[in-house]
Structure 1
Amino acid sequence: MRRLLTLLTAAGAALVGLAPVASAAPDQYSCDTTGTSYTYVVLYAPGLPRFVADTELKFDCGSLVEYYPEIGVAVATSAAPDFADRLGPNRAYSGRKDVPGATSRSRSQESVAPADDRGAEQWDMDLIKAKQANKVNEGSHRVVVGVLDSGVDATHPEFAKAMDPADSAGCLTGKADPSADAWKPTTSPHGTHVAGTIAAADDGSGITGIAPNVRLAAVKVVSDDGFIFPEAAVCGFMWAAKHHFAVTNSSYFVDPGFYFCRNQPGDSAAYEAVRRAVAYSTGRGVLNVAAAGNEAMDIANPTKDTVRTHPVDRNCATLPAGLPDVVSVSAVGYAGTKSSYSDWGKVDVTAPGGDRAQIPPAGSGPACPLSTLPAGGYGSMCGTSMATPHVVGVVALLASTHPWASPAQLRGLLRSEATPIACPAATPTCTGLAGDNSYYGHGLVNALAAVTR
């Protein structure tokens, strides 16, 4: 699943607050409804009343699914082929409509049977001193961590005390659905694996997460065919804000391409919608953490979208990792050096994501981090997807030990307490000093420092 960042296989947008001019559509009965129905994000002026957005969307052949007045973003459906044109190319965008090629993503994982205690195989926890941190502080139950992913299997024994159903929801349509069926995993083990790294129980069996006493909320933003569209991401961040999560985990990039460009029609609307949702959640006390990506490229200087064909330059960013308010995470393997697949450039910190070229000694576990899988299982996966929950677990410990810290303060603590890593010798793509460079950002996250400093 490429959008889930696991190695397994607008600024300038028009803000409209009034009904459109008559030339946009003669009347609502002129709508062509013979096309395929798609879901769109649509921009409005923040604070605009819901009924105004609803009225315009009907006039332009759409139906309102959800409206977030705090940020002026609507989610709408329409079968009219010219729906986005009616509203304006910088105001509306459908990710599904723009999906290139195949409509699904392959998935795999190395599944292994549970055992009494798999702790010795968690080299990733040793690398960031999580086992030492667990002896000091395992996190506070008042801290809620949002796993924005493919759902979390709440029946897994590791989550018996961690899962918080009341704070969980499905966001695939762009409108939050709190029913249990909406946020449970269906086709992907990805979210369950992420969740285990953060908060698997310290119960003497299976594995132990970085912050086993915190609570987990599952927010399902990944469709059954493996896509994360703008409306789902917006819904996920707004849900996190409403429920006052301390931190969220986004181990994905928003579809349908790796980059969204602020200066391109369509892209600009999606970029702005997600940017507003992230900024709003940050303002409500949420620190959002995201995977940098697995494209083995410099995301601070984009030149090519490896997923979708369109011009790419410095006006483009991956979502959500490329946004200013988001902590971006690169990956290292067992040896503590950048994983071969990991993106670099815009990186705050690094964490274990695994690398099949960096093989641990016998008995130390697989090259890819071991964590939970649905149906009570355990397995290994590699990717910046796996590095990100290590960072989120450390942030959860920081939120536990610094209960009044703002997102900016938590980010500052995360960076200052990281273990600096210097650039490899004779590696021109790694620039900067130890403690602030393009490969590792401020360094490897340190769980022990989060509970002792």
Structure 2
Amino acid sequence: MHFKNTTLATLAIFLMVTSCTKTELTSAYSNPNGAGSTARSAAAGTSSRGSANGNYLVICKTPAVSKKVLDQVQSIGTVTRSLAEFGVVLAKSTDPDFASTISQVNEVESVVPDLEYDMLVNTWQSDKAHRFSASAVAPQTSHLSLPGLTGSNSIAPLQWNLKAVNAHAAFASGYKGAGAVVAVLDGGFYMDNPDLAPNILVNKATSFIPGESAQYKYPTGISHGTHVAGIIAAADNDYGIVGIAPAAKLMLVKVLSDDGWATLGTILSGIYYAANNGADIISMSLGGFFPRNDHTFTPDFLALNRAFQYAKQKGVVSIAAVGNSSLDFNGQGQLTVLPASSVNVIAISATGPLGWGTDQNTSLFPPAVYTNFGTSLIDFAAPGGNTKLPQNNTPVTIGGLTLPVWIFDEVVSDGKTGEFVFMSGTSMAAPAAAGVAALIVGKHGGNISPVSVENKMKASAVDMGAPGNDDYYGRGHVNAGNAVQQ
């Protein structure tokens, strides 16, 4: 059998971008050395609660779960969730021999502890956030400069990411993602945010974190999930920003606690839920480093690969951020990054401008300084924001909002009602790509296969960097205007 031991504490699972804390944040500044952090330092910074608290993943030899396996688990523990088509059972037991006993069942491949990890500890290495109130921005009728939109979307002039993906061309052609459902696997969400509320499928919002609803539980702070969801499908209305697919529907699935803790089991549960409840696209701004050749992690790879294979069979496109550690994933190095490296997952790197606040005609497409890269990992690039080091703190004013110039190179999206947040990271790039995928799905009335969606993303992407597939852009930078013409 394969059983994980204390070496699992070296696993570096991390949320891919700036995230929330219990206390109210105004600004969070990056560690200037963070952009060059190595996998070793990332692993050293990862915190585990040290045990699984009696929680286990029982992984079967085939993607099925028999009554025999369930009965055996129930005999010395409790089945907390059966992910039958993955061949995975989430179980809880106080029996010290649980793993060794269940692993003797012929149909069982592995029994591994479902450990909890702090998914926030590494995010402050290279990311930052700044929030501001809606009242800080001068009133505007911004839709006049955004063809195809009807709402005022007063924060939209700060959204250089819309231009980066050529969203306006899609809007002008009449495509806004209607008919597509995007499952956002993340932490909690401000469910009543005016930009998100019109598109949230309230009856399908759910949480796999015990004791926490899908709602972001703190009255103040920065909700990473809300920011990500806004990039995808903030409504075209008279409030705030506008999403890349502003008519798509949002299935909000909480797989990370609002204190930053999660397990592989909660993430697998989210994938299972989305695939079985009508999602067309799964967007994941989360992930972690795994030792590539350590057999103790084989069960994790197997479970995730089965999950995404099942999602694809159910017609779901899976998209994930690749991480913010400036690491080259070419070749067969010691680490891999999951879920971005899993089979049937579209892996997204980040791009962004350097100095947009002073020159709004500057290129929007330089690779982000923090993004992981490598042709063996990257499928597409999308806008995630950028950081020029050292940061330029010269104040500039855009739309009545005065901030240090470097902040405008980040991606602005929703926070709690009345507030907006600048963030940067591959966490912002993945939902941008998910928004483009939603436009494709919407154009085809929700009746299009994952393979066809990816092919259309490939055919419509803009080739940048070295010709063809390259380290930072993969098969190209996503382009919404081109995509809806496919």
Q: Is the 8 A contact 1:46 1:69 kept in 2?
A: no
Q: Distance in 1 between matches of 2:193 and 2:119?
A: 35
Classify 1:329/1:121 alpha carbon distance in 2 versus 1 (closer, same or farther; 3 Å): same
Q: Is the 8 A contact 2:199 2:250 kept in 1?
A: yes
Counterpart check, 1:167 vs 2:204: yes
Aligned to 2:174: 137
Per-residue deviation, 1:58: 3.7
Aligned to 1:320: 339
Q: Distance in 1 between matches of 2:171 and 2:338?
A: 32
Classify 1:401/1:260 alpha carbon distance in 2 versus 1 (closer, same or farther; 3 Å): farther
Q: Is the 8 A contact 1:37 1:80 kept in 2?
A: no
Aligned to 1:349: 380
Aligned to 1:222: 256
Aligned to 2:33: none
**Can you list the C-alpha shifts for 1:148-173, whole angstroms capped at 9, x where unaligned?**
00132220111232010122211235
Q: Distance in 2 between matches of 1:289 and 1:159?
A: 20
Q: Distance in 2 between matches of 1:80 and 1:344?
A: 43
Aligned equivalent of 2:236, options 194, 202, 208? 202
Within 5 Å, which residues of 2 pair with 1:43-192? 43-46=59-62, 48=64, 50-59=66-75, 61-88=76-103, 91-96=110-115, 99=117, 109-114=129-134, 115=137, 116=139, 117-172=154-209, 182-186=213-217, 189-192=223-226
Amino acid at match of 1:414: M
Counterpart check, 1:297 vs 2:340: no
Amino acid at match of 1:66: R
Aligned to 2:9: none
- Could you tell me which runs of 5 or more consecutive residues in structure 2 were left unpaired when the two chains were aligned: 1-11, 20-29, 31-50, 140-153, 354-362, 400-406
Classify 1:81/1:357 alpha carbon distance in 2 versus 1 (closer, same or farther; 3 Å): farther
TM-score by length of 2: 0.74
Q: Distance in 1 between matches of 2:246 and 2:337?
A: 31
Q: Distance in 1 between matches of 2:349 and 2:182?
A: 20
Q: Secondary structure at the match of 2:413?
A: strand
Per-residue deviation, 1:317: 3.0
Q: Secondary structure at the match of 1:366?
A: helix
Counterpart check, 1:409 vs 2:452: yes
Aligned to 1:12: none
Aligned to 1:3: 14
Q: Secondary structure at the match of 1:339?
A: coil
Counterpart check, 1:445 vs 2:461: no
Q: Secondary structure at the match of 1:452?
A: coil
Classify 1:192/1:2 alpha carbon distance in 2 versus 1 (closer, same or farther; 3 Å): farther
- Could you tell me which runs of 5 or more consecutive residues in structure 1 were left unpaired when the two chains were aligned: 10-34, 304-311, 423-432
Amino acid at match of 2:131: S
Classify 1:104/1:215 alpha carbon distance in 2 versus 1 (closer, same or farther; 3 Å): same
Counterpart check, 1:380 vs 2:422: yes
**Can you list the C-alpha shifts for 1:65-106, whole angstroms capped at 9, x where unaligned?**
011222211001123445334444961223426x59998977
Q: Distance in 2 between matches of 1:119 and 1:104?
A: 30
Classify 1:352/1:48 alpha carbon distance in 2 versus 1 (closer, same or farther; 3 Å): closer
Of all paired residues, the percent bearing the same amino acid is: 27
Q: Distance in 2 between matches of 1:384 and 1:363?
A: 25
Q: Is the 8 A contact 1:186 1:224 kept in 2?
A: yes
Judge which range, 70-79 or 385-394, deviates more.
70-79
Q: Distance in 1 between matches of 2:77 and 2:329?
A: 35
Q: Distance in 2 between matches of 1:368 and 1:74?
A: 40
TM-score by length of 1: 0.80
Amino acid at match of 1:284: K
